[in-house]
Amino acid sequence: MVLANAKVYTCDEDVTSANAVVIEDGAITFVGDMQSWDNAAELPVYDLGGRTVIPGLIDSHTHPSMVTQSFWHVRLPWTTDVDEILHFIRDYAAAHPPDEVPFLYFEYYPSATFADNPPTKELLDTAVSDRPCLCQDFSEHEHWVNSKMLELMEITRDTPDPVPGLEMFVRDETGAPTGLLREMVHLHFMDKLYEKIGWTPPQELTPERVGRFFRFMTEHGVTALFEALVEDDEILQAIAELDRRGALNMYYEGALRFRNSEDLPAVIEVLERYRTAYASKHVNVNTLKLFLDGTNEVGNSAVLAPMCNHASADHHGDIGMATDELTRCFLMCNAAGVDVHIHVVGDRGFRVACDAVEAARNDLAARGGDWTIQVTLAHCELIDPADMHRPAELGIIVNWTTHWSGGYFGEAAKKHLGDDRWDRMYRFNEIARSGALLTFSSDVVTSYELHRSNPLFGMQVAATRVDPEYPLPSGEYPGSVRPQADAKLSCEMLLAGYTINGAKQMRLADQIGSLEVGKVANLCVLSADLFEVAPSTLSEIKFDAVVFEGRVVAGSL
Ligand SMILES: [Zn+2]
């Protein structure tokens, strides 16, 4: 087919603009000026009426498995009004009797809801008492449950806390649990609860459930994605089945997790087994995932200067591995030809990762070996200005979750990092300007936030530093713009990061990521030009049509 009268952004440096794309047998055979195309084969011509065409988008770090496993959770209205929350729960329970929903799981209530007045089981009992009920706090560090849930988990004043001080039940002066839970303490007792109610949550990764996630991504222009954590091959089986049915419509790569240099060889073996079993045209398993530190909001990221307000004045957060061990891991991965994707949040974590890549490369060079693997650092929320140039020099890819660029996590990190460091979070212009590859992602982990994985929503937040759903208080932050305003990302950078750069991270740039002759015809037709609309309205642009391998898989032309 011929897509004519279009405004084409190719993401190809050689041909940057065009008004026509020709697709034959799923591949692009022409990009350029319609005037110079001779439609001798009489291909069907679609007049796009001046609409915008971009390459199919690439989400370079997301979590299909986790989102799928949370589809049965129920979304609470976003409010700190406790009566409104209880009202919603009461109505939901009434509309869904116990034989239909034996266990009610609600997410989330804002962390500020019960700031001075911790919630109790009795309060939740007023909304639902005929079955277990759990409400999850937005930070996921706290849960509020009813009496029935405590009863079915057999929690009494005599039950010891699994991890005292961390994973525990908040108790009254008599030692009785109040209904407030710290961290995921309930997970130690859920088997007991499920056995008693004779039910388990629908969490198997069936092709139908997984397909719901992929359908959403397809409808929002995503034609390739990287799953940043694959627990086992259940998800790979589901994806292989979707692909067999022609319902995947996606290039997919999954990453397995390793924890240290000791478990790494065994994980590489599993990866090689999965690769043999599942690798196909659309599916790849070629990357390992490592968590190097925690999060800035909890205060367990690895930072260069000490954490503020910590019991020890010399607390630099937590790091999973020292430079030496990480260097050894890189060398093992390089020997096995396996790429590495690292969760790193604090500036010390970032430096250690850079140091280890540098040491591994130097070590190899001294022995005449070749560094062939790709290392991607994901999140990189706080980077020391002195390290901004290092990804470019070391060939490290930096991945950023665009929809976090505003106020999604509120000011929770401020008490650990202090004002200066908080203001310096989420800066990526320096990284890109120094020549490093910047890729973008949604990193959604629950169905609650699935709608935020629309790449145009992420682009909007990164382009404005304003989160329309979770705005920072405008009194303190004029226009709810997150500091610093000069860290807003340009549309050019965002589009490149969501297309050609993402393809490079997934090692698919020879096939996808730009509209070039010879490449696979993955593209999106947009209702408006993303370079011309106000950045604050980017998420209002619609995906009129999404084309995957030359077929329209969402919308219509
Ligand atoms: Zn993630």
Kindly give the distance from the C-alpha atom of residue 508 to the centroid of ligand 1, in angstroms, as a whole number: 21
Distance in Å, CA 30 to ligand 1 centroid? 37
For residue 391, how far is its CA from the centre of ligand 1 (angstroms)? Answer: 20
End-to-end Cα, the chain, rounded Å: 11
pLDDT at 54: 98
Q: HEC states along 368-420?
A: CCCCCCCEEEEECCCCCHHHCCHHHHHCCEEEEEHHHCCCCCCCCCHHHHHHH
* Ligand 1 center–CA 288 separation, angstroms: 13
Q: Is the dihedral of CA 400, 402, 405, 410 positive or negative?
A: negative
pLDDT digits (tens, 9 = 90+) for 152-178: 999 999 999 988 877 899 999 999 999
Residues with Cβ within 8 Å of 180's Cβ and at least 6 positions away in sequence, in order, are 118, 119, 120, 142, 143, 144, 169, 170
Mean pLDDT to the nearest integer, 242-250: 97
CA distance 2 to 40: 12
pLDDT (0 to 100) of residue 111: 83
The alpha carbon of 59 and the centre of ligand 1 are apart by a number of angstroms equal to 11
Banded pLDDT at 135 (limits 50, 70, 90): very high
**Model pLDDT, residue 229:** 95
Task: Please report the pLDDT score of residue 41 as a whole number.
Answer: 87
Beta bridge partners of 133: 104
Q: Show the tokens assigned to 197.
A: 């109610």
Cα 100 to ligand 1 centre (Å):
32
Tens-place pLDDT, residues 431-456: 999 999 999 999 999 999 999 999 99
- The rounded Å distance from CA 454 to ligand 1 centre is 16
Rounded CA-CA distance 389/127 in Å is 55
Rounded to the nearest angstrom, the distance between the alpha carbon of 323 and the centre of ligand 1 is: 22
Q: How far is the CA of 446 from the centre of ligand 1 (A)?
A: 11
8-60: pLDDT as tens digits: 999 998 887 899 999 999 999 999 999 989 888 899 999 999 999 999 999 99
Q: What's the gap in Å between 228 CA and the centre of ligand 1?
A: 6
On the question of pLDDT at 141 being above 90, the answer is no
CA 405 to ligand 1 centroid distance, Å? 15
Residue 277's CB: how many other CB atoms inside 10 A?
Answer: 12
Cα distances from 202 to residues 52, 190, 294, 375, 460, in angstroms, run 40, 14, 29, 35, 34
Q: Cα(290) to centroid of ligand 1, in Å?
A: 11
pLDDT-above-90 percentage for the chain? 91
What distance in angstroms lies between residue 237's CA and the mean position of ligand 1's atoms?
21
Ligand 1 centre and the CA of 277: distance in Å? 25
| Cα–ligand 1 centroid distance for 443 (angstroms) | 5
Q: How far is the CA of 252 from the centre of ligand 1 (A)?
A: 15
Q: Please calculate the CA angle 12-389-421 and round it to the nearest 5 degrees.
A: 115
The pLDDT of residue 297: 87
CA 68 – ligand 1 centroid, Å = 14
> Given this model, what pLDDT does residue 352 score?
98
Q: How far is the CA of 50 from the centre of ligand 1 (A)?
A: 37
Measure 257 CA to ligand 1 centroid, in angstroms: 12
Over the stretch 517-557, which tens digit does the pLDDT of each residue have? 999 999 999 999 999 999 999 999 999 999 999 999 999 99
Amino acid at 6: A
Q: SS3 for 277?
A: helix
Sequence-ordered list of residues with C-beta below 8 angstroms from that of 495, at least 6 positions apart, any chain = 9, 11, 54, 459, 530
Q: What is the pLDDT of residues 465-481, one digit of tens each?
A: 999 999 999 999 999 99
Report the distance separating Cα 398 and Cα 235, nearest Å.
Answer: 26
Q: Tell the residue number behind the tokens 């990061």, with chain if given.
A: 497
Q: How far apart are CA 304 and CA 191, in angstroms?
A: 41
In the beta sheet, which residues pair with residue 151?
none
CA dist., res. 314 & res. 419, Å (int): 18
Query: What is the CA(229)–ligand 1 centre distance, in A?
Result: 7
CA distances from 456 to 201, 204, 258, 557 (A): 32, 30, 32, 20
Six-digit token string for 337: 């030809």
Instruction: Classify 257 as helix, strand or coil.
Output: strand
Mean pLDDT of the chain: 96
If you measure from the C-alpha of residue 15 to the centroid of ligand 1, how many angstroms do you get, rounded to a whole number?
Answer: 34
Ligand 1 mean position to 529 CA, how many Å?
Answer: 30
**Which structure tokens are listed for 142?**
């706290």
- Quick one: pLDDT at residue 15? 82
- What residues does the ion ligand 1 have nearby, CB within 5 Å? 228, 443
CA of 62 from ligand 1 middle (Å) equals 6
Question: How far, in Å, from the CA of 399 to the mean position of ligand 1?
Answer: 11
Strand partners, 170: none
Predicted pLDDT of residue 183? 84
Please state whether the peptide bond connecting residue 108 to the residue before it is cis, i.e. omega within 30 degrees of 0. yes
Spacing, Cα 322 to ligand 1 middle (Å): 22
Torsion angles phi and psi, residue 450, rounded to 5: -55, -40
Whole-angstrom Cα distance, residue 484 to residue 423?
6
Spacing, Cα 182 to ligand 1 middle (Å): 22
Cβ neighbourhood burial of 100 (10 Å; 0-12, 13-18, 19+):
exposed
Q: How far is the CA of 291 from the centre of ligand 1 (A)?
A: 10
Tokens of 165: 């001080």
What's the chain's length in residues?
Answer: 557
Sheet order of strands, 142-145 included: 74-75, 104-109, 133-137, 142-145, 177-182, 168-171
3-state secondary structure of 143: strand
Neighbours of 156 (CB within 10 A): 12
3-state secondary structure 46-63: EECCCCEEEECEEEEEEC
Output the pLDDT for position 212: 96
Within 8 A by CB and 6+ apart from 132, the residues are 102, 103, 104, 145, 146, 148, 149, 152, 193, 197
